[in-house]
Chain A
Amino acid sequence: MRTLLEMAFVLALGTGTGLLVNAFDERGLQLSRQYFPRSAAQAGAGMTAGAGTVAPAATAQPALSGAAAVASDGPSPERPPEEAAPPAEAARSTPGTASAGDEADAAGHAAGAGGGAAAVAARLASKGLTGIGFDEAAQAWRDPLRELGAIVFVDARDQAAYEQGHIPGALKLDFYQPGDDLAALVPLLPGAQRVVVYCNGGQCEDSESTALLLLGLGADPATLAVYAGGITEWRARGMPVATGPFPESSP
């Protein structure tokens, strides 16, 4: 019937154009890459094709032994670990996971404050990650070791969000489009006593995906921590925020 043919035409036109443009768009998506990893192995798997500047991450298996044993319930049956913790599922769907701006994340952060904190902790645990609160993060930031490079802060957001305001001294690592970020960051990992990863806070999971990626690249699980409160809590607590690209001009 003619209408069906027309519908097929419309769908084919849209799908074909989309896939074609995506193939040539440097900011496009890699179709086979898992952008929401549940384990370090998954986080590393897609990066080999996209990162370009770093050695293959998926083969860094020795570093994964600690985290992977806890985190990887295997890529295939992904739902069971999530469903076994309904609060985690519920918290994940509070507004804020994905908005391009800060407002939705902050709203999710505020709305999910009570039950949200426990849910975030459960989610971190299911991925084999350690979460830290504001006090620990602020302490790490004030520690003189940070200036020496032994404590590293990693901002898991994109360039625009980073430049609008980040924890002073933090290095950017955009999990979705890392570009040159990895080249700057990876050399610092072996010498780091503490690596603190953060994003917007609240329901933002980018910090976790980035932390899993760092694990896959050889970061020591004992040093890695996710600052769950994120930049939203950092700002709310009146801590200093640096703007502009790295490196910053002021200390």
Chain B
Amino acid sequence: MKEVASDLPPAAAAPVGRIRRWDTTGVPLLLARLAVGGTFAVLALAKLGEPVAFLKLVRQYGLLPEEPPVVLNVVAVTLPWIELACALLLLAGVALRGAAAVSAGLLAVFTYAIAHRGLQLAAEAGSSLCAVAFDCGCGSGVVPVCPKLLQNLLLLALAGVVVWSRSRRWCLQRR
């Protein structure tokens, strides 16, 4: 993967060119890395110390089979650590595209799961989606669903920025 800091087309006044130029400053990348990496780090650390609690939270979604038990158990054990790995790599700037892609994948799955569960709960309580609050297992306790979904979508977009970016400024791995 070559660093393409300055192979911009001559007509750099075009919108895409301007965005790419902004990217070469490394600032959008850094902000996105800090946002996604920082959030993942904080939330992962909150989950690491409580494997049993996290197991129960993962189970509540009903998206994973309970038989054989190893499926649910392995997911509960490894998911916080995968999040932490993504966080550290994003913050350090190593294996950036891969870490961002995994982060984006996780965020997409989480957003779907939270929305699915939120709708389930809303249907049972006979309320609207945004009135529902539950412990999503995100590491922040009981949260209202709609703000959490918006936060996830924002982080997903920022992870996308990291994937898209060609800059490697302020990264430990520059190539």
Residues of the A chain whose Cβ atoms lie less than 8 Å from the Cβ of B55 = 29, 35, 176
Q: Interface code A183-224, partner B: CB below 8 Å = 1, 0 otherwise? A: 000000000000000000000000000000000000000000
A2 touches B85 (CB 8 A): no
Q: How far does the Cβ of A13 sit from chain B's closest Cβ, in whole Å?
A: 5
Q: How far is the CA of A95 from the CA of B132 in the complex (A)?
A: 9
Is the interface on chain A under 10, 10 to 19, 20 to 34, or 35 or more residues?
35 or more
B134 touches A7 (CB 8 A): no
Query: Would A34 and B69 be within 8 Å (CB), given that A6-B99, A14-B83 are in contact?
Result: yes
Query: Would A99 and B141 be within 8 Å (CB), given that A6-B98, A29-B52, A32-B70 are in contact?
Result: yes
Q: Which listed residue, A13, A27, A92, A98, touches B51 by the CB 8 Å rule?
A: A27
A94 touches B77 (CB 8 A): no
A95 touches B135 (CB 8 A): yes
- CB of A15 within 8 A of chain B? yes
Q: Which listed residue, A11, A46, A78, A177, touches B67 by the CB 8 Å rule?
A: A78
Q: How far is the CA of A86 from the CA of B82 in the complex (A)?
A: 34
Residues of the A chain whose Cβ atoms lie less than 8 Å from the Cβ of B96 = 6
- CB of A17 within 8 A of chain B? yes
Q: How far is the CA of A203 from the CA of B74 in the complex (A)?
A: 24
Q: Interface code A1-35, partner B: CB below 8 Å = 1, 0 otherwise? A: 01111111111011101110110010111111111
Q: Which listed residue, B51, B68, B97, B133, touches A25 by the CB 8 Å rule?
A: B51
Residues of the B chain whose Cβ atoms lie less than 8 Å from the Cβ of A18 = 77-82
Interface size on B, residues (CB 8 A): 51
B69 touches A32 (CB 8 A): yes
Q: How far is the CA of A35 from the CA of B53 in the complex (A)?
A: 11
- CB of B50 within 8 A of chain A? yes
Q: Taking each of A5, A21, A158, which has the highest tally of chain B beta carbons within 10 Å of its own beta carbon?
A: A21
Residues of the B chain whose Cβ atoms lie less than 8 Å from the Cβ of A112 = 124
Q: How far does the Cβ of A43 sit from chain B's closest Cβ, in whole Å?
A: 12
Q: Interface code B29-57, partner A: CB below 8 Å = 1, 0 otherwise? A: 00000000000000000000011110111
- CB of B146 within 8 A of chain A? no
B contact face: mostly helix, strand, loop, or mixed:
helix
- CB of B120 within 8 A of chain A? yes
A17 touches B77 (CB 8 A): no
Query: Would A10 and B102 be within 8 Å (CB), given that A29-B76, A32-B69, A95-B142 are in contact?
Result: yes
Residues of the A chain whose Cβ atoms lie less than 8 Å from the Cβ of B121 = 93-95
Q: How far does the Cβ of B162 sit from chain A's closest Cβ, in whole Å?
A: 11
Q: Which listed residue, B67, B137, B141, touches A75 by the CB 8 Å rule?
A: B67
Q: Interface code A140-151, partner B: CB below 8 Å = 1, 0 otherwise? A: 000000000000
B124 touches A35 (CB 8 A): no
Q: How far is the CA of A103 from the CA of B99 in the complex (A)?
A: 35
- CB of A100 within 8 A of chain B? yes
Q: How far is the CA of A35 from the CA of B54 in the complex (A)?
A: 12
Residues of the A chain whose Cβ atoms lie less than 8 Å from the Cβ of B101 = 3, 6-7
List residues of chain B with CB under 8 Å of any chain A CB: 1, 50-53, 55-57, 59-60, 62, 66-70, 72-74, 76-86, 89, 95-99, 101-102, 117, 120-121, 124-125, 132-135, 137, 141-142, 163
List residues of chain A with CB under 8 Å of any chain B CB: 2-11, 13-15, 17-19, 21-22, 25, 27-36, 46, 75-76, 78, 89-90, 92-95, 97-101, 103-104, 107, 111-112, 115, 158, 176-177
Pairs A–B under 8 Å by Cβ, sample size 18: A2-B97, A3-B101, A6-B101, A9-B95, A10-B95, A10-B99, A10-B102, A13-B82, A14-B85, A21-B81, A22-B77, A27-B52, A28-B51, A29-B52, A31-B69, A89-B62, A98-B57, A100-B50
